Amino acid sequence: MKVDLVVALAGNANVGKSSIFNQLTGLGQIIGNWPGKTVEKAEGVLLHHGKHIKIIDLPGIYSLSTYSQEEIVSREYIALEHPDVVVNVVDATSLERNLFFTLQLLEMGTPLVIALNLVDVAKKKGITINEIKLQRLLNAPVVPTIATKGIGVHEIVDAAIEQAAKRSSASKSTIRYGPEIETRIEKLERVLTGVNIGYPLRWTAIKLLEGDSDIVNKVGEKHPDVIVAANILAGEISEIHKEPCSTVISSERYAVAARIVKEVQTFKESEKPSMGELFDELSMHSVWGYVLMFTTMLSILMFMSFFGGWLSEIVRNLFESVNPHMTGFLPDLLWNGGVVGFYATLSVALGFILPFYLILGVLEDSGYLPKIAYLMDRPCHTIGLHGKACIPLLLAFGCNVPACVGCRIMETKRDRFIAIFLSTLVPCSARTVVILGLVGAYVGVQWALLLYIIDFILIFLIGRILNRFLPGKSVGIIMEMPPYRLPSGKVVVKQAWNRFKPFLMTALPLIILGSIIIEAMRITEILYLVSNALSPITVVWLGLPAFTGFLFIFGILRKEAALVLLMTAAGTVDIRSAMSPVQMIVFALVIMIYVPCVATIAALVRETGWKKAGLITLTEVGLAIFIGGIAFRLLNVFM
Amino acid sequence: MPQEHIEEYLEAIYDIAGREGTAKTTEIAERLKNAPASVTEVFQRMKQKGLVRYESHKGVSLTGKGYKAAIKMKRKHRLLEVFLDKMLHLPSDKVHEQACKMEHTLTDETETALCKTLKGPTECPHGSPIPPCNLEVKNCQECFSEQNLTLEKRDKDIIAITALKHGEKAKIVFVRGGGGVMQRLCDLGLTNGTTISLLREAPMNGPVEICVRGCKLVIGRGIAEKIFVQKT
């Protein structure tokens, strides 16, 4: 398809870029109320008045002097890929901080459209912004928007098309520094003529003065003399200001931003604290904050356990009532393999996975996740991380794959590795299915809870060990705190569906196929050959029935499959007749720890490389077998 | 009474009572292994010098002057500890005792030189924070980069943002440390001279939440302790 225009959405974290993207493209980028959701760029195409417009959603970025990995993605894109227009999404409730980045974009000379988002929230806070004045001061069109309601989003595209048309006459940067800095920028620009690294000249000069390590490396490779010149000039500036050159430039930019805000913004402070602020007070309280957090987590788990068990039961009874009870090879294969596989999957999907995604959506959209990061920052230090790591760790309860990718919000390689490793140990919704659907339903909720506690202890211990032996130190948290907002039902449902769809598309067929294969293997007795080969581990060490061996192998594909196929492999829907309570607990325990699923391993390889992915996988296999065997022996004493 | 003696007392009061708290006579006596009677006598003399507030039934607390003197000693002590540990590689259980003896003879000039040589350490080998210097600098880089820097003493009472009370406002005067973290703080609007307010802090030395330029930011304790402000 021919693309007429490329428009990139850029701006600070959590200002509504992905919301605008979703509104324009109809795609389902994950959105929510916390900084750092989008860590990779996303693309979509919009047909607008007969024009094909490619929209790029970029991760949040506070400054072009990047700090974490996802910011680098944005900067590289804006600086090197030259989108036709950059739509700078700006949070109207914190204009000054947002303009700091806008000024940097102007400096780069990118054709710019400003989307002044969250104007409704700003209005409620008593903030009014004179858009026309802002437009004049920035020399770029300003479009007020309310992204969540789709207000103003198409006007952005109109403005972008218009801006792209007069690209040639793109105005020169409006930000001027003090004369002592300007003369040095000019000097360096002269030195830089002939040096082309793909970035605009003035911007490169400023970045070199700031000592931006990335740009210094890029230029220094071929032109070390330029770096020497830049260092001398930067030294002169810091001599004058008694501050490093980079902070001098940042301070000047902020001074300009503050000046603009003063001119365009009026602010009437409301006297009584808003509901959100009162809830802030409670949810971040030194005592009640923690009480609220633990109660929330526990009630989610309890709800899932009871609701999931109840719904699974209904689905099962529904299908059992129409069981034709035929015998023979083919009917057996189709019913026990295909149909049982289908409804067992359906029951876990509707009972556990979908409800969890709905709850997760509410947590994300309300803005509660950053509060958890705040509350848990101190405890996280004991495992060598800071509070931000809690966010991917919580997402991992849904699925480990986005959690591993989400760990890019961690600033250092070391923090990222620890967070990724620990994420793969968090019981995802598939493992929750096994824990609650097997142990919770047949042995007792308290035992399911115990499994969770064991898992959390394990995560804590592994974290401690990694923290002890990995060189380096966590840098500490620096995170923006978004205000609370009422979750939108539409967004939550849509988001849950977007997460649930891949499950239906890939897991369901896979599990049905697996069921049929296992049923065929059971009838032809091949299953026993495979299972017997693994019996030294499964039967002798873990004390499990022999047929579980094959499930562990299949469970690598999909962990919830282990439970569904358990019914097929045991040859009965009533698992109680095939396994003792102790065996169920040990089985669930091993499934919980033994290996990340294939999709997670793939994500691990992508995020950390083969070596570390292999290390994580093997460690977890070893741990699962070891802990499973110990648990079997201990439980036999008590039960 | 020797100066050295008073300095030991200042440190002891600071250790027990901190900036604004009160220490009991018995606590100080126990810590310094002196008889309560002689401790009281020293308190009286310190009171005359304007270093402490003292009432026999309430206990002793530091005045502004006393606090400044106390953190000055703490700074010297902890810098010396780092020096003995990092440069001379003395066993870590010995450094405290040795630093205790050396701190009283250390001139301010040597203190600054020591801080430069050690590249502005922020913690002693035991993990306690080293108070910032009282020179007119905006950050440590400035101090390291210049060869023969003659800096004026600043006459401001600067504290880390973690020492602010909830809801209190203050102006940033000095950010310690360097590299990426400092640049990031700057990019988020924490430039020198900016007014911030402390909103809340998490228990057990957890992170702080501050308000800067209309945005709320959560900052880890380790970083927050390096941002110094002056109350407005």
Q: Across the interface, do A478 and B188 touch by the CB < 8 Å criterion?
A: yes
Residues of A in contact with B215 (CB under 8 A): 94, 97, 480
Q: Across the interface, do B202 and A378 touch by the CB < 8 Å criterion?
A: yes
Q: What one-character-per-residue DSSP string does A485-550 give?
A: -PPPHHHHHHHHHHHHHHIIIIIHHHHHHHHHHHHHHHHTTHHHHHHHHHHIIIIIIT---TTHHH
Q: Which of B118, B124, B225 is nearest to B176 (CA)?
A: B225
Tens of pLDDT along B89-125?
888 888 888 888 888 888 888 888 888 888 888 888 8
Pick among B161, B183, B196 to test the A interface (most A CBs inside 10 A):
B183
Pick among B187, B196, B225 to test the A interface (most A CBs inside 10 A):
B187
Q: CB distance from B180 to chain A under 8 Å?
A: yes
Check residue A334 and report its DSSP letter.
I
Whole-angstrom CA distances from A585 to A450, A451, A624 are: 10, 8, 13
Q: Across the interface, do B191 and A378 touch by the CB < 8 Å criterion?
A: no
Residues of B in contact with A93 (CB under 8 A): 214
Q: Which of B210, B215, B213 is nearest to B227 (CA)?
A: B210
Token code pair at residue A369: 């996740």
Round to whole Å and give the CA distance between A86 and A82. Answer: 9
Q: Across the interface, do A247 and B189 touch by the CB < 8 Å criterion?
A: no
Round to whole Å and give the CA distance between A528 and A531. Answer: 5
Residues of A in contact with B214 (CB under 8 A): 93-97
Q: What pLDDT does B35 receive?
A: 84
Pick among A14, A99, A232, A243 to test the B interface (most B CBs inside 10 A):
A243
> φ and ψ at A129, to 5 degrees?
-120, 130
> For B172-195, what is the mean pLDDT?
84
Token code pair at residue B8: 């030991």
Compute the Cα dihedral for A544, A549, A552, A554 and give only its sign: negative
Distance from CA of B101 to the nearest CA of A (A): 32
Round to whole Å and give the CA distance between B200 and A308. Answer: 39
Distance from CA of B149 to the nearest CA of A (A): 11
Which amino acid type is present at position A27? Answer: L
Is the separation of the CB atoms in A39 and A409 below 8 Å? yes
Round to whole Å and give the CA distance between A307 and A355. Answer: 9
Q: Which of residues B47 and B2 earns the better pLDDT score?
A: B47
Could you give the 3-state DSSP secondary structure of residue A54? Answer: strand
Select the residue of B191, B217, B222 nearest A254 (Cβ to Cβ): B191
Which amino acid type is present at position A333? Answer: L
Token code pair at residue A545: 């029935």
Q: CB distance from B187 to chain A under 8 Å?
A: yes
Element of type H or E holding A377: helix A369-381
Round to whole Å and give the CA distance between A32 and A101. Answer: 22
Q: What pLDDT does B142 receive?
A: 67
Residues of B in contact with A63 (CB under 8 A): 183-184, 187
The domain locations on chain A are 5-169, 179-267, 288-473+491-638
For B57, residues 6+ apart whose C-beta sits below 8 A from its C-beta are: none
Distance from CA of B31 to the nearest CA of A (A): 30
Q: Across the interface, do A97 and B189 touch by the CB < 8 Å criterion?
A: yes
Which amino acid type is present at position B56? Answer: S
* Cβ neighbour number for residue A327 with a 10 Å cutoff: 8
Token code pair at residue A487: 């979750």
Tens of pLDDT along B199-214?
999 988 899 999 999 8
Tens of pLDDT along A120-172?
989 988 899 999 999 998 889 999 999 988 899 999 999 999 988 876 445 55
Could you give the 3-state DSSP secondary structure of residue A27? Answer: coil
Residues of A in contact with B183 (CB under 8 A): 63, 65, 67, 246-247, 250
Element of type H or E holding A599: helix A598-608
Answer CATH for B76-131 from 1.10.10.10, 1.10.3720.10, 1.10.260.40, 1.10.287.70: 1.10.10.10
Whole-angstrom CA distances from B39 to A191, B12, B30, B36 are: 69, 12, 10, 5
Q: What pLDDT does A447 receive?
A: 92
Q: Across the interface, do B222 and A378 touch by the CB < 8 Å criterion?
A: no
Round to whole Å and give the CA distance between A61 and A86. Answer: 13
HEC readout, A244-298: CHHHHHHHHHHHHHHHHHHHHEEECCCCCCCHHHHHHHHHCCCCHHHHHHHHHHH
Size of interface A-B (CB pairs under 8 A): 132
Is the separation of the CB atoms in B168 and B231 below 8 Å? yes
Distance from CA of A289 to the nearest CA of B (A): 10
Burial of B167 (0-12, 13-18, 19+ CB in 10 A): exposed
Q: Across the interface, do B218 and A286 touch by the CB < 8 Å criterion?
A: no
Residues of A in contact with B207 (CB under 8 A): 374, 377-378, 387, 477
Round to whole Å and give the CA distance between A88 and A232. Answer: 34
Compute the Cα dihedral for A455, A457, A460, A463 and give only its sign: negative
Q: What pLDDT does B127 receive?
A: 77
A32-41, A562-571, B141-150, B216-225: the lowest-pLDDT one? B141-150
Round to whole Å and give the CA distance between B210 and B161. Answer: 9
Check residue A335 and report its DSSP letter.
I
Q: What is the CA radius of gyration of chain A?
A: 28
Portions of chain B given CATH number 1.10.10.10: 3-62, 76-131
Could you give the 3-state DSSP secondary structure of residue A375? Answer: helix
Q: What pLDDT does B149 receive?
A: 54
Tens of pLDDT along B6-48?
888 888 888 888 777 888 888 888 888 888 888 888 888 888 8
Round to whole Å and give the CA distance between A9 and A521. Answer: 53
In this prediction, the residues of chain A whose per-residue pLDDT falls under 70 are 1, 167-174, 271, 325-328, 336, 571-573
Helices (H), chain B: 3-17, 25-32, 36-48, 64-82, 92-102, 108-117, 140-145, 179-187, 221-224
Token code pair at residue A410: 């961690």
Round to whole Å and give the CA distance between A167 and A544. Answer: 70
Domain A5-169 belongs to what topology?
Rossmann fold (3.40.50)
Q: CB distance from B211 to chain A under 8 Å?
A: no
Superfamily of structural domain B159-231? Ferrous iron transport protein A (FeoA) (2.30.30.90)
Q: Across the interface, do B216 and A481 touch by the CB < 8 Å criterion?
A: yes
CATH 1.10.10.10 fits B3-62, yes or no: yes
Q: Across the interface, do B189 and A476 touch by the CB < 8 Å criterion?
A: no
Round to whole Å and give the CA distance between B130 and B121. Answer: 7
Is the separation of the CB atoms in A589 and A627 below 8 Å? yes
Given a cut of 70, is residue B68 above it in pLDDT? yes
Q: What pLDDT does A326 receive?
A: 67
Same fold yes or no, A5-169 and A179-267 = no
Q: What percent of chain B has pLDDT over 70?
A: 90
Q: What pLDDT does A169 receive?
A: 47
Pick among A72, A206, A250, A268 to test the B interface (most B CBs inside 10 A):
A250
Whole-angstrom CA distances from A77 to A42, A61, A102, A219, B126 are: 12, 12, 16, 18, 45
Compute the Cα dihedral for A433, A439, A445, A447 and give only its sign: negative
Select the residue of A250, A370, A387 nearest B191 (Cβ to Cβ): A250
In chain B, the residue whose alpha carbon lies closest to the alpha carbon of A125 is B214
Q: CB distance from B223 to chain A under 8 Å?
A: yes
Q: Across the interface, do A250 and B145 touch by the CB < 8 Å criterion?
A: no
Token code pair at residue A594: 């033994």
Q: What pLDDT does A562 receive?
A: 83
Residue A86 pairs in a beta bridge with: A8, A112
Select the residue of A63, A242, A258 nearest B187 (Cβ to Cβ): A63
The mean pLDDT of chain A is 86
Residue A87 pairs in a beta bridge with: A9, A113
Round to whole Å and give the CA distance between A447 and A601. Answer: 28
Distance from CA of B202 to the nearest CA of A (A): 6
Q: Which of residues B66 and A195 earns the better pLDDT score?
A: B66
Q: Among residues 52-91 of chain B, which lie with CB inside 8 Å of chain A? A: none
Round to whole Å and give the CA distance between A512 and A567. Answer: 12
Element of type H or E holding A466: helix A445-469
Q: Across the interface, do A100 and B217 touch by the CB < 8 Å criterion?
A: no
Distance from CA of B166 to the nearest CA of A (A): 12
Q: CB distance from B135 to chain A under 8 Å?
A: no
Select the residue of A65, A477, A480 nearest B216 (Cβ to Cβ): A480
- Complex ipTM more than 0.95, yes or no: no
CATH top-level class for A179-267?
mainly alpha
